[in-house]
Every structure is written in structure tokens, then in C-alpha cells.
Structure 1
């Protein structure tokens, strides 16, 4: 191979690495479905519900997700305290019955998610009026306004052409009951529900899925409405699309007035029109469910689009064609694409399919994240090791949601009074919130902590330098055990990820970054329990050869490493136990004149 060819290959590899690198700004979200209790809750008991939600949010935080798309209105019911619609039967077991002891699930989710730096996007099904026991109470709109209800069709035999939260359910032939989108009163009613939530809750986004006109099709069921409320349309198909468009526009216009920082996202079926782009074959959402998502982008009514691209590379629904096509439409209109991706179908594919999709996302302009359907599969599950792949590779570093400069572009106030102290736990950073001036229109929502080697320059776009993201509502302090020969900087971001200038530690006294190592010590492993990587941290008072060994509970050696240290210090190694089963293991450290051990728990 010639030297020139080697150079070309090297440049290509470096370019690809940059394109697929772990980005600093990336929407990392998952749908949490409540219809039929798919993801949450599994019980009507309040304590169980709260514990399960805390576990969901802790898991999301552990795997570095930054947004939950939480289903608050599955079928004209409410998983929050509403004066408009009844409590959901999937929450309490009885429609219209409040939780006992009382609590508000949406308020609870918002509070707990924000503590963990996770955005909350409230997910609404706009028109579904009945599902199972939903619609059984006297106060449900199905019974208070029967004149608003359309009874249409039955489920299509092909389960991939069904609404988002029914994709992986057993086949059903029940009639669809939906609110009639053609009625002005219905549009006003749905808008009032959304406005109520946006006004009363500290949510980050409004999100609606693909439940428009039914996938099973509609014939003349709405002919009377068309005759009464045609608005000058003579073509019923154009009228139906406009019915949906009017609601989308009304939501956008109203949010701009009452709470303009709230993001508005839509999740349509993944194929806009059959044959678009070339080679794509499938259900025509434009003509079947009357979903014209391209118009929503062209009119800039929405901030992000999440088409449900639930197919692999190749074939008539090629992810490699559909995703870049949607990204192109989003880019033309200066909006974001966060593809909906089918983690529930991973076991039908190869282990490399979903990682390949993420790599293509990151190489494509305007494609700035992923939304996985649904929590029970990832990160609540680990199909074909995909969750492990996220933690160890694709979500190895934290990320913040992408900035939406068309909504706001003023930065948060720069933090102030950054201090650094050294103790047995490591380097502890403390800081204070900056002051709002004419250059700002919002307080800090989160703080970004950067870390980079002494003597080098910080690249804030290099996500390997982003150490942590701290919600502004938490105590403004952070401790890093791995501080030797590093320096730190902190910036602030507002709610829409507009970032301030950096305040950083001084480096005039480089010696202060040297660890104090006066005695041997094996520090507590972190995290513990762990899955699948645990950090092994230890202190040595002088140069030495150290032996690290991990045994299973029966005394069998699982891992061993010898490290030659040329000076005293605090050091960290990692053990990846992905190839080993869950269980208790014994970690030992041994050096001349020193030996110590501790239990570590691997929990898959």
C-alpha cells in the first residue's frame, strides 16, 4: 500500500470518527407509554407508582438520557389533575377516581425528572376517544358529547400500520372511536386540554403522536360533518388534512403566547407519501390518516419532528433513505429531526442495526437525536445488548438537548465565584449563580462542568471534555475524584441550551492539582452496584507494582491486572463485566506490604 493511500485512508477514518462522535448537543429521549399500562404504572398503589417512576428516571439518568416523553392523555383521560377530563383508569383502576393518597403524577414526574437534568415532554393522543375501559365514566367526553364521536373501521392486519402505542400489541379487531377532527368544537376542546397542561405544569415540551384519522381507514363516517363545516372545501380529503393542520397551527400559535419556551414536537407515521423518497413503498400517511407533516415543517408550526422510522436499512422502508429525507425537510425549515426508533423490534434484527442507525443520525445535518419506542425495551431492557452499547459507546458522555435559536438565543448569565478545594474525596468545585442583566432573558437552568488536561486548550464542542451536567435546582457543587493534572471550567445554560461564557479554575498553582497520597487505600468502588463497568480507585504512597484481581463468590479468578506506578498518587482502573453474570464479586488489591479487598455487586 502506498504512503499516499495510507494517508487518504487515515484522513477518512478521522473524518468518520468526528462525524459519529458522542455529540455535546443531542436529544436522547424515550417514550414512556401509560396506555394499557405498557411501561407505567404496573399497579394502582401510589407508593408502587412512585417507586417505579423513580426507578425509570434513575435508569434514564444512569444511561445518560436527557428527555422523557411521558404519556399523559392516552384516550381523552388524564394522568394528571384535570378539571377537563377524568382521571385515567390506567392510573387508579377506575376512571374518574383520584389517586389515594392523593398525588399528581405529572407534577411528580416533572419534579423528579428535573432533579436529574431530564426534560419532560407531555405526550398527548389528540383524538382517541375510547380504548378498553377508557371512556366508561359518565364525565368522559365519549359520554358527555356523543355527537363528537366517530366510530370507524377496525385494525389493519399489518401491525406495523397502527398508532404508536399499539405497535407491539396483539392484533385487535375492535372499532376505533375517535373525536371528529372536522368539528370546530372538537379542535377547541383538544386545544383547551393542551393549554391547561402547558399553563399549569413546568413541562419542557408538548408532544403528539400519530393518532389522527385511523389507520384502518375512513369512508363516509364524517360526511355529515363535512356537509355542515366544510369551510369552503369541496374535496373531503383536502378538508380532512386541513382539519389536522388547523389544530397543529392553533397549538403553535397559542404556545407562542402563553409559554413560548415550551417546545412543540410531532411524531407522525414514518412515510409521508408512498414513493417519497424514491424506492419507498408503504402506507400513505398523507392520504390514509391525513397527516401532512411536511406542511407543519414548511409553516414552522413545530419545533421538532419525530417520524416513526421503525424499519431497518434496506427494503421498501429503508431507514437509510427515509431518515436523510426527513432531515432534509427539517434542515430546509431550520427545525430539528429526532427520529423515532424501534427498540421494540431489535430482536428481529441484527445486533448492529440500531447502532448503525445512530451513526447515520450523527452524520446527517439536522438529525440531532433519537426517541426510542419504548422504555420497557430500552433502557428498561437490554435487547441484543443495545443498552450496554449506549452506555459504553454512543451515550458514554453526557449531552444536553440541542439549542433552538429560533425560540431564544440569549445566553444564560455566566456563573461566578468558582472555588476549588481538595480533600480525601477529590477536587470539590463550588460556584454561584450569575446575575441577570440586559444581555439575558432567563436564569440558568443547568450548569456544564468541563474538564481538560493542564497545558491544553478546552474545546467545548469535544464532548469528551464535558464532565457533568448539573441542574440549577440542585446544590451548586461537584466533586471529581480524578483531578490530577486537570483544570476545570463551568458555564451556564438556560432552558433552551443557550450557553454562557466560561468561568474556570486558575492554574497558577499547578501543585494544588497533585493528589495527597500519604497512605495505602482501596477506595469504595463506583458505582456499586454496577452494570457493566465499575471504577476501581486506590491510593499508593510511593512507586510500586499493584495487582488488581476480581474473584467470583466461589473464588474463581475473573479478572487480573498488574500496573507499574512510578510515583505516589490516586489512580483509577475500570473493569467491564459485560461478559459475566450478575452476582457478588470480590475485588482485591495487593502490593508489597499492602493488601485489601471489598465486595462489588454486578446487577444487570
Structure 2
């Protein structure tokens, strides 16, 4: 039997080796990767599976501004149902795309992507609705914030006079000293202490008022560099950073580091179970600049261009998860997915930080920089299979929900019927909490026309948030760590929770057990065995 480490090396070697023999635009590696190797796990019981849902420019939801409340709700529910069918157990929803809000806020106006007019009340609380619907399906809700962006492209070179185009009560217009123009957009200046407090207070408003599971940020810190244009914060540096930092780059990184650290500390002080995660650009630094960087040749990097020092966040425990956007194909010379996966796996090794991978679902069936690997239906499945050969890998986030809905090259079908066919439980984070809830005690079983119904009565002293239902053929209890035995998970929304097994075959004898899990996914020992012969 091939050991896992050796198998992974052979897997990667077969991919990279094929790129030597064939032109880069037609790398034919897919058939060299076995569909399931002996040591390559087919299913993983503990794995976060999520899709990003972008609201900016109405990318995913709502599909356009100005929809009625029932239309908006129906669209969101359809997305969640589709994602649940694909095996997802979390959703990452953008609730503050451009210094605005998808909820009533003291730190931003109602988003124009809801109604078409910034500041116009949509007539309900979308965030409260979305969290409730996600939890009904036992999906985590990760609230996605963009900290500094005030506007999208203005169609021309931005300047401070563009603030007059914003509503009079917009925070940026009320505090023009916080604002800098760069390219065709306006940003809050990350170097202004009042801006950092404003960003943190805006996030904490949501943490305090909504039952979210995580705060999420992506790759937008200092903006991506524009050739020939310097970010206009020299005066801010001289005011706040010059005495402490010998160069502006180190000061900028310190600004972002402090923001990340302070957000995490504020979240944990308010609700210790709420996670904080960031999805940065996929390259920290290139190896030709820093020997400890990745073997890549990315044009811009986190450390040197976005001033996002992901290594510091990981080493200091300032985040609970990191989800680098590995939006390249396996074998790509300038940024090889396989090499980057290996590099990031080593970055989190031994740290209290989980590694999720940002998957480029949006690229499937498209040409990317002249490389046609994304026309290969095995590219994304092979990436997920390669992920699972790494112990550090804890899950995937797919960009984005709309692209999954399009099902390019059948990827949604592959997730539903193969890669995510078995349900998965979000990995626990023992540094947040490592105490499991009590095992379920009071369980009633009923045979119904539609299937076998289980009702679990919640203990008054229990901290369970949901249940996992396991089923075994015959009269013996098998291994609950084998994901093939996991039927489903169901969220506790009231004292008596029911689950209906519609897949039981009439006449077949089964043994069920049920476990309780808390909201950080610590799992109890199994309940007593429940033998049932399906009628």
C-alpha cells in the first residue's frame, strides 16, 4: 500500500510531469490521477463546504436591485436549497460590500444592491432572515465584510469631490478626513486610527445583534496596486507612523495586523464561539523575493502589495481559519495549485488555525490567461481530491454560488453525486471550545408512511445545537467516524426536534445512533443503539 505522503508526491509528480511533455495550454494530466487512490479518502467526515454569495454588483444575491421582499427571500432560499443538495454545510454571505449594510446599522446605510438606492429601507431585515434560513438547514452563516471599500468604480479617476455623490448621512461624507481616492474608487484610509475603530465597531454591531457563526473577510485590505499610482497616504504615515516605522510598507502592514488582531479580540470578548476567518489572495510572497515564500511568480502578493501579512496572523493566532484563494490550475507554471496547497498546508502546521481552500469554480469551462485546463471536467474534482490528501486541509469555499448554479462541466452534479455525496460536519476548533455536549437520552421512534421518524428531547442543561444521525445495516453499531454511516445533521430550533429517514428500505433491519453537537461542533458520545426494522 502506498503511504499517504508518498501517494501525494506521486499524484503531484504525475501532474507536473505531464506539463513537461505537453504545451501548457493543453496540459493533459487528468487521466493520470486515479479517481480514488488506496490512501486517498473518498469522503471526509469533518470538512467545511461553503459557497461565497457576493452581493456587490448583485453578483449572486439579490439577482438585481429593487426586487420585492418575497422575490428576494425566494431567491435566497433557492440558493440555500441548491447548496444543501450539493452537500454544503456553510454559506459565506457578503453583508457589507461597500461601506453599506444588509441590516439596519449605525455604521452604514442600507445597501443600494437591495433597493437600487443607497439608504432606502428594504422593508425587512435581510440579515436576520438569512441567518434564520441558513440555520434551518443546519448551515453555518459566515458574515462577510469588506472593511475599507466605499465605492465601486466611478467610471473615472476618483477624487474627494466624489463624496458629494453619496447620501448626506453617509459616514464617509460625514468624515471626509477618513477618505482617500485611489484609481476609480474611494476608500477609508487604513492608517487612520478612527477608521480602524469604525470598522471594528461596525463588525461588532453584527456580532452582538445577530446569531452568526463567523466573521469573514476576503482579500480586500489595501487595494490592489495600480501601475504608476501610489496609494495616497504619505501624510497619514508622517502623522501616525513615521516615528515608529522606517518605511511606509511596514507601517501599512502593521495597520492591517492591528485591525485583524483587534477584530478577533473584540469578537471573542463578546461571543467566544464566533469564529474569525480571512480569505486572502493565494500568494503570501514569491520565493524569488523571500526564500520562505512559495515557488510562484505572482504579479502581486499579500505581503508586498496588499500589506496583508497572513503569516503573522497565523503565527499569532489572530484568526481561526484562513482560506487562501487558490484560483489557478494544477501545474500552472507561474502559480501551481499543487505547490500552493502544499505551501499553505505547511504554514498552518502546528498552529491553532484551520486551512480552507478558496476554489475557483467560476473559472470552470473558461480559458484563463491562454491556459485551457479549466475546460477539463476533472480539474476541480482533482483539486478537491488532492486537498484531501493533506491532513491540514479542513474544507473548501467555492466562488461563487451563481457559478455553482450554472453547473459548468457538471461540477454541481459531481459535488452532489460524488465528491460531497456524504454529508460532512464542520471541523471543531478545540482552542475555542473542546467540551462536548451530553449524549442524547430521550429519543422516540415512530414508523411512518414516509419513513422512520426520530424525535429527540433536548435536555434543559445541555448545550447541544444540533444532532447527527448515524445508520448501520443489521443489529450492530459500526464506526461513527466513518462518514459513510452519517445520514444527516439536523439543527435544534425548539425543544422537540424530529428527523425523518426517508431512505430506509422496507423490511431491512437497521441500528441507529444519534450524537449531539454544540455550535463549535464538539460531538458527544453516541446515544443508546436504536434497532429498527423498516416497515
TM-score norm. by structure 1 comes to 0.75
Match of 1:212 in 2: 221
Aligned-pair CA distance for 1:18: 5.0
Once the 2 structures are TM-superposed, how far is the Cα of residue 332 of structure 1 from its aligned partner?
2.7
1:139 aligns with 2:169: yes
Please name the residue that 2:354 is paired with.
336
Tell me, yes or no, if structure 1 residue 291 matches structure 2 residue 283.
no
Aligned counterparts of 2:356 and 2:365: Cα–Cα separation in 1: 22
1:414 to partner: Cα distance: 1.7
Offset from partner CA, 1:544-603 (integer Å, 9 cap, x none):
xxxxxxxxxxxxxxxxxxxxxxxxxxxxxxxxxxxxxxxxxxxxxxxxxxxxxxxxxxxx
* 1:270-293 Cα shifts (integer Å, max 9, x gaps): 000022645311022211111100
CA separation in 2, counterparts of 1:445 and 1:224?
Answer: 50
* Post-superposition CA distance 1:499-547 (Å, at most 9, x none): 111113344xxxx61x44xxxxxxxxxxxxxxxxxxxxxxxxxxxxxxx
2:278 to 246, 266, 283: 266
Partner SS state of residue 347, structure 1: coil
> How far apart are 1:219 and its partner, in Å?
2.1
Q: Which runs of 5+ in 1 are unaligned?
A: 154-174, 437-441, 517-604
Deviation at 1:81, TM superposition (A): 1.0
- The question of 1:322 aligning with 2:322 is answered no
Find out whether 1:358 has 2:376 as its counterpart. no
Q: Name the SS of the counterpart of 2:266 in structure 1.
A: helix
Question: What's 1:223 paired with?
Answer: 234
Q: Hey, what's the Cα distance between the residues in 1 that align with 2:57 and 2:294?
A: 37
The whole-number CA distance in structure 2 between the counterparts of 1:489 and 1:190 is 45
Residue number in structure 1 paired with 2:256:
244
2:58 is matched with which residue: 31, 34, 37? Answer: 37
Deviation of residue 384 (structure 1)? 0.5
Residue in structure 2 matched with residue 124 of structure 1 by the alignment: 145
Tell me which residue corresponds to 1:409. 434
Identify the structure with bigger relative contact order (alpha carbons < 8 Å, sequence gap 6+).
2
Local SS of the residue matching 1:377: helix
Matched, 1:197 2:179: no
Q: Distance in 2 between matches of 1:47 and 1:424?
A: 33
Task: Name which of 48, 51, 59 aligns with 2:82.
Answer: 59
Once residues 426 and 196 of structure 1 are traced to their aligned partners in structure 2, the CA distance between those partners, rounded to angstroms, is 44
Greater alpha carbon shift after TM alignment, 293-302 vs 12-21? 12-21
SS of the aligned residue for 2:110 comes to coil
Contact 2:468 2:516 in 1 (8 A): yes
The structure-2 alpha-carbon separation of the partners of 1:42 and 1:284, relative to structure 1 and needing over 3 Å to count, comes to closer
- Higher Rg of the two aligned structures: 1
Q: Which has the higher strand share?
A: 1
Residue pair 2:153, 2:185 contacting (<8 A) in 1 also:
no
Partner of 1:19, secondary structure, is coil
Alignment of structure 1 residues 128-167 onto 2, 5 Å: 128-131=149-152, 136-153=166-183
Residue 492 of structure 1 corresponds to which residue in structure 2? 516
Instruction: Return the offset for 1:110.
Output: 0.4
What is the rounded CA distance, in whole Å, between the counterparts of 1:391 and 1:107 in structure 2? 28
Cα offset, 1:17, TM superposition = 4.4
Deviation at 1:381, TM superposition (A): 1.9
What does residue 129 of structure 2 align with? 108
Q: Give yes or no for contact 1:85–1:139 (8 Å, CA) kept in 2.
A: no
Residues 177 and 478 of structure 1: CA distance in aligned 2, closer, same or farther (over 3 Å):
same
Q: What SS does structure 2 have at the residue aligned with 1:71?
A: strand
1:20 corresponds to which residue? 41
Distance 1:212 1:488, change over 3 A: same
Give the SS at the match of 1:476: strand
* 1:70 lines up with 2:93 in the alignment: yes
Say which structure is richer in helix.
2
- For residues 485 and 84 of structure 1, do their structure 2 counterparts lie closer, same or farther at Cα, with a shift above 3 Å needed? same
Q: Deviations over 1:58-80 (max 9, x none)?
A: 11112121111100111100111
Residues 391 and 331 (structure 1 numbering): CA distance in 2 closer, same or farther, change over 3 Å? same
Distance 1:367 1:396 in 2: 18
* Residue 423 of structure 1: how far off its partner (Å): 3.7
1:418–1:505 Cα contact (<8 Å) kept: no
- In 2, the alpha carbon distance for the partners of 1:496 and 1:327 equals 22
Q: Secondary structure of 2:439's match?
A: coil
Who is 1:309 aligned against?
326
Q: Give the length in aligned residue pairs.
A: 475
Distance change in 2, residues 1:457/1:220 (3 Å):
closer
Instruction: Give the aligned CA root-mean-square deviation in angstroms.
Output: 2.3
* More displaced 10-residue stretch of structure 1: 448-457 or 118-127: 448-457
Q: Secondary structure at the match of 1:281?
A: coil
* 1-structure distance, mates of 2:380, 2:94: 24
Residue number in structure 2 paired with 1:97: 120
Contact map agreement 1:447 1:493 (CA 8 A) in 2: yes
Contact 1:414 1:434 in 2 (8 A): no
Residues 278-322 of structure 1, C-alpha deviation per residue, up to 9 Å, x if partnerless?
Answer: 531102221111110011000000000011110001121001010
Which SS does the other structure have where 2:388 is aligned?
helix
Residue in structure 2 matched with residue 467 of structure 1 by the alignment:
487
* Alignment match, 1:434: 459
Structure 1 CA distance for aligned equivalents of residues 80 and 133 of structure 2 = 8
TM-score (norm 2): 0.85
Contact 2:107–2:171 (Cα < 8 Å) also in 1? no
Judge conservation of contact 2:469–2:488 (CA < 8 Å) in 1.
Answer: yes
Q: Do the aligned partners of 1:130 and 1:142 also contact (CA within 8 Å) in 2? A: no
